Structure 1
Amino acid sequence: MKKTIYLLPLALCCFSFSYAQKKDKADKYAATITAGDLKKQLTIIASDEMEGRETGTEGQRKAAAYIESQFKKMGLAPVAGLNGYQQLYPLYQDSLSSEITVNNQPLVYGQDYISPAPNNETGNNTSASIIFAGYGIDDSTYSDYNSIDVKGKVVIFFLGEPKKEGKYIISGTNRSSRWTYPGLSIKLAMAKARGAVGAFVISQVQESFTQRAIDNSKKSTLYFPREGAGTPVNYALLSHTYAKTILPNTFDTLLKQVKSFQPIATSWLTENKLPVQLKYNRFRTTVNASNVAGVVEGTDKKDEYVFCTAHYDHLGKHDGKIYYGADDDGSGTCGVLEMAEAFAKAKKAGNGPRRTMVFMTVSGEEKGLWGSEYYSDHPFFDLNKTSADLNTDMVGRVDTERKSADSLNYVYVIGHDKLSSDLPVINEAANTRNGAITLDYKFDDPSDQERIYYRSDHYNFARKGVPVLFFYDGMLKADYHKPTDTVDKINFELYEKRVRMIFYTAWEIANRDDMLKRDIPLPEGSR
């Protein structure tokens, strides 16, 4: 009994000493993250030379090369098997030529129809008839296909979806469903699943085609080839004048119904015995974009991983104006660089993390989370061994709509009560150590109208089950996605506080005994 009494104070003393040492080490390296260094990095990332860093452009490649050079300079290791520090992923750009005849009469491109290059493939299809399929929807709550057989035929349908008593029938709310957005791709896939060989599409608002629409339809912008998307039926968008020749007796009435969101009655779903031939030739160019990753290898838990991510792309250069993206997301990118340098210094001094730290800046976020989606489908480290992703997207400015007294001492945190019950405990403790800024959970609800939970790269980790925290300043107004998102608008004092707090959070996750628990289901929803 006496032995225990004597040893307990000694054990507590050793624990306190160990904890104090651990705390002092974290403080030492957090202090290397300074407003001055953040500004130095951001002035380069958001410079004229980077041309707005649009994915797939020379500006994006320059930014990737710069980030890679910084990882090398800091002493981070590349990932084995990558192209240096870069994980390349393909983007496609398509051009298309087409010939369409209906009832043995050729249609005039740009006058009767256009066939946008995306979603159309090389092919030659024929049909003996065209069948009207309403909105082209086949859903459990509403279907245009229940009374028609479209196998081997060309379908013709309107964009959009119907309402009843002021609410969309499918969602049951004031918000449209997936049949409106992404809409067309789903409808084309449904037509194919039902056996159609082609589709004619009518936009209720686009009566004819401008020269710009005609030119743009012949060549796609760069796009990300999503796995499992499949190839839908080939389609053409018809002018109203030509659509009326296919539906001569009903078009005007149907157009009025669709413009007022009325359901299409079964009696209107008719078949027109007109032979159709669709000839398409697609030509594809591949352009590589990249994610840039550097590693600080762990010690006794080096086969477990903690990611710090941000997207380094922005909107590029258009109409002679550069979209600098200093806050979005130059701020997150430079935060990742500064945290990487702090961990690298700790490693060099013999105080490296127990888990392997992975600092990854991704591209394609502004286009649809392309780079992080590619990584989550082609990970170079086991996602089941990835303890967490700390994502930083816009942390340099102040939300202009925030009217509370703490407007210069806050950050929005998304993901804290999802996937892992460890997250809020760790993050809030790290924040207290950093001097306690307000952690605002305003945007953390997945059903929030801004849908922030789904709008940055952390989501592609979350959908694979990896616990995530997303740090964000809320700057959705002011200079958001404008050429005026520039370095001079950054609040560097607050920026420093936020990045240091994220560093402390990463430090704790990297050095604790256990990986984060995965004990909370992923909320239902999608981007």
Structure 2
Amino acid sequence: MRKLALLCLPLLSTVAMAQDNSAKYAELITAKGMKDKLSIIASAEMEGRETATPGQKKAAAYIEEQFKKMGLKPGNGNSYQQVYPVYRDQLTDKKLSVNGKAYEWDKDYAFSLQGIASGDLSYANLVFAGYGVVDSANNVNDLAGLDVKGKIVMVLDGSATAAPAPAPGGGRGRGFSPASAAAKAAAARRAGAAGLIVVSADFPRRMPTPVRGNMYMKTPAVTPFTTVTVSAEVASALLGRTAKLSMDELKQVNKGNYVAELKISAVKTKENLESSNVIAVLPGTDKKDEYVFLTAHYDHLGKQGDVIYYGADDDGSGTTAVLQMAEAFTTAAKKGNKPRRSIVFMTVSGEEKGLWGSEYYSENPTFPLEKTTVDLNTDMVGRVDTERKLADTLNYVYVIGHDKLSSDLPVINEGVNNKYTKLTLDYKFDDPKDVNRIYYRSDHYNFARKGVPILFFYDGMLQADYHRPTDTVDKINFELMEKRVRMIFHTGWEIANRDEMLKRDIPLTMPAR
């Protein structure tokens, strides 16, 4: 017994010393250090860091290099990177003919990769449904009285009214205007149609229709529903007319069944790409088999033509925060102040695509999720919310998750903030009725859905330069960012060195994503 007690004394002393020294190591998180790193991460060389592009891979290599310089161990076996698959479809061949006459791509017709399947399709007749609008709110149903089951439906673009009904939620929700092509396709599909042809005046196309699709991580479900956009000339042929009808003349055509031989052919190929999460770990001492995660996403929107979306705040700021906190923790460890729990520093890609990287990690964790005590996620901490008209504009941070999953979270976070940084901690985005749905919009969510307690730190910048090329390093308030990141560091330090893992005692009551 006495020997055991003697062995424990140095450990208890070390823990107490570690807790006392957090303020000293927090001082290593400086505005200058963050500016130096962010100026590289959000530079033109990184080309906006879009997932599965050379720019993203350059950013991953830079982050890995920084982790290695700090002496951190790889977080995925012998590798610092956790690679995951990404795919993109490409349309390599396309054809459309009516009654044996072939038409030209982008002169007479076009279709998106999402609206067509590989293979050959043939239809002997179609149903013309006017504008094809189904809008129960305004008692409009252009499909009424028409038998569309198993047939392809042709509709005119737009609606009979000058101002189409707005989307639900004032255009900000997930709905579509009843006059949109997407809403018309949904209505026709519900009625049993095999596909939709939209007649558009936008031919010949002024801009080439993309033949490379969006990236995806999971193979989307194959849909048998076909969507094609055609010119007035193709529409006229489908209606049995030998002469081209104008768009105004097409508006006068009677709704009903028309006989025509329509043939569509498409060849789609799948491009295999890949992206990665960058993971490093600082092993703990007596509780090294338990883990504190510090996360951010390092991807952004890439380039459109020659225009770079730099993503300095979103989320170069969070990525820089993780690197600065890693520097502070590793310096402390080298000076004899190792954390009790292991600290995992993870920057993920694919966030802008739909939280891909964190989702992949949550399904393929390199450290047990049941032993992961917390995820402290940092996504946009370098700017000021332009909508925030309060006196604390230069001394706040939004904290999401404080009242969810663990009752320990607010006690610890508020405690270190009161002691060290004295920021205003604003919880407005924790409201389940938050119209912006912030709780679901960053990588902490994929930890939370697995039951891991989370805190998400965020500046609220949804206006101004959000998702624009003007989100650049010169807009960052590094003094405020320094204060925010120091507070996150103190929170992580406290959680890493406390006696118990965080309680998991509050059910997640947020609605499904």
Match in the other structure for 2:201:
207
Structure 1 counterpart of 2:211, which letter? K
CA contact under 8 A between 1:129 and 1:154: conserved in structure 2? yes
C-alpha displacement of 1:334: 0.7
TM-score (norm 2): 0.80
1:476 aligns with 2:476: no
Residue of structure 2 in register with 1:216 after alignment: 209
User: Offset of 1:316 from its aligned partner?
Assistant: 3.1
Partner of 1:337: 323
- More displaced 10-residue stretch of structure 1: 435-444 or 475-484: 475-484
Q: Which of 151, 154, 165 is 1:153 aligned to?
A: 151
| Correspondences of 1:41-56 after superposition (within 5 Å) | 41-56=37-52
CA contact (8 A) 2:133 2:140 kept: no
Is contact 1:96-1:117 (8 Å) kept? no
The secondary structure found in structure 2 opposite 1:479 is coil
SS in 2 for 1:337: helix
Distance between the aligned counterparts of 1:48 and 1:471, measured in 2? 26
Shifted more, 44-53 versus 270-279: the winner is 270-279
> 2:123 touches 2:263 (CA, 8 Å); kept in 1?
yes
What displacement does 1:246 show?
A: 4.8
Does 1:520 find its partner at 2:513?
no
Task: Give 3-state SS (helix, strand or coil) of 1:129's partner.
Answer: strand
User: Which of 292, 304, 321 lines up with 1:306 in the alignment?
Assistant: 292
How many pairs align? 491
The answer on whether the counterparts of 2:70 and 2:327 sit within 8 Å (CA) in structure 1 is yes
Write out aligned runs for 1:354-369 (5 A).
Answer: 354-369=340-355
1:89 aligns with 2:82: no
User: Are 2:294 and 1:287 aligned?
Assistant: no
Query: Which of the numbers 107, 110, 129 marks the counterpart of 1:111?
Result: 107
More deviation in 363-372 or 336-345? 363-372
CA distance in 1, matches of 2:464, 2:25: 34
Report what 1:235 is aligned to.
227
Amino acid at match of 2:67: F
- The residue that corresponds to 2:6 in the other structure is none
Measure the CA separation in 2 of the matches of 1:160 and 1:329. Answer: 38
Check 1:227–1:377 CA distance in 2 against 1; reply closer, same or farther (3 A cut): farther
| 1:489 aligned partner | 475
Query: Which string of whole-angstrom CA distances, capped at 9 and with x for unpartnered residues, describes residues 472-495 of structure 1?
Result: 112333333344433333222211
CA–CA separation in structure 1 for the residues paired with 2:100 and 2:154: 18
Matched AA of 2:443: D
Q: How does 1:85-484 map to 2 (within 5 A)?
A: 85-131=81-127, 134=132, 152-156=150-154, 174=170, 178-180=174-176, 198-202=194-198, 207-209=201-203, 211-213=205-207, 215-220=208-213, 222-227=214-219, 229-239=221-231, 242-243=234-235, 246=238, 270-484=256-470
> Against the structure 1 CA distance between its residues 192 and 403, is the aligned structure 2 distance closer, same or farther, given a 3 Å change threshold?
closer
Alpha-carbon distance between aligned partners in 2 of 1:113 and 1:290, rounded to the nearest angstrom: 38
* Match of residue 491 from structure 2: 505
User: How far 1:336 moved relative to its partner?
Assistant: 0.5
Structure 1 residues 414, 121: closer, same or farther in 2, change over 3 A? same
Counterpart for residue 7 of structure 2: none
Are the aligned partners of 1:135 and 1:159 in contact in 2 as well (CA < 8 Å)?
A: no
Tell me the distance in 2 between the aligned counterparts of 1:124 and 1:506: 57
Q: What secondary structure sits across from 1:431 in the alignment?
A: helix
* Percent pairwise identity: 52
- SS of residue matched to 2:446: helix
Rounded Cα–Cα distance in structure 1 between residues aligned with 2:217 and 2:367: 22
Q: 1:245 to 1:447 in 2, by over 3 A?
A: farther
Residue 5 of structure 2 is matched in structure 1 by none
**Aligned counterparts of 1:56 and 1:195: Cα–Cα separation in 2:** 38
Q: Distance between the aligned counterparts of 2:79 and 2:157, measured in 1?
A: 43
CA drift at 1:66: 0.5
Contact 1:411–1:472 (CA<8 Å) still a contact in 2?
Answer: yes
SS at 2:359 equivalent: helix
Q: Which runs of 5+ in 2 are unaligned?
A: 1-9
Q: 1:33 aligns with which of 29, 50, 67?
A: 29
Decide which of 71, 76, 81 is 1:80's aligned counterpart.
Answer: 76
Is the partner of 2:465 in helix, strand or coil?
Answer: coil
* Unmatched tracts of structure 1, length 5 or more: 1-13, 257-266
Which residue is equivalent to 1:21? 17
CA contact (8 A) 1:98 1:115 kept: no
CA–CA distance in 1 between the matches of 2:44 and 2:309?
9
Quote how far apart the aligned CAs of 1:281 are.
Answer: 0.6
C-alpha distance in 1, partners of 2:450/2:147? 38
2:325 maps to a residue whose letter is M
CA 131–32 in structure 1, closer or farther in 2 if over 3 Å, else same:
same
Contact between 1:463 and 1:522, CA under 8 Å: does it hold in 2?
no
Q: Matched residue of 1:50: which SS?
A: helix
Q: Is the alpha carbon distance of 1:111 and 1:30 closer, same or farther for their aligned partners in structure 2, counting shifts above 3 Å?
A: same
> SS of 2:483's equivalent?
helix
Give the superposed CA RMSD.
Answer: 4.2
Query: In 2, Cα distance between the equivalents of 1:413 and 1:160?
Result: 43
- TM-score scaled by length of structure 1: 0.78
Q: Report the CA distance shift for 1:521/1:80 in structure 2 as closer, same or farther (over 3 A).
A: closer
Counterparts in 2 of 1:159 and 1:65: CA distance versus 1, 3 Å: farther
3-state SS in 1 of match to 2:57: helix
Q: Deviations over 1:209-231 (max 9, x none)?
A: 46454x233233x5123356444
> Are the structure 2 counterparts of residues 484 and 415 from structure 1 closer, same or farther at C-alpha, using a change threshold of 3 Å?
same
Cα distance change on mapping 1:152 and 1:338 into 2, 3 Å:
same
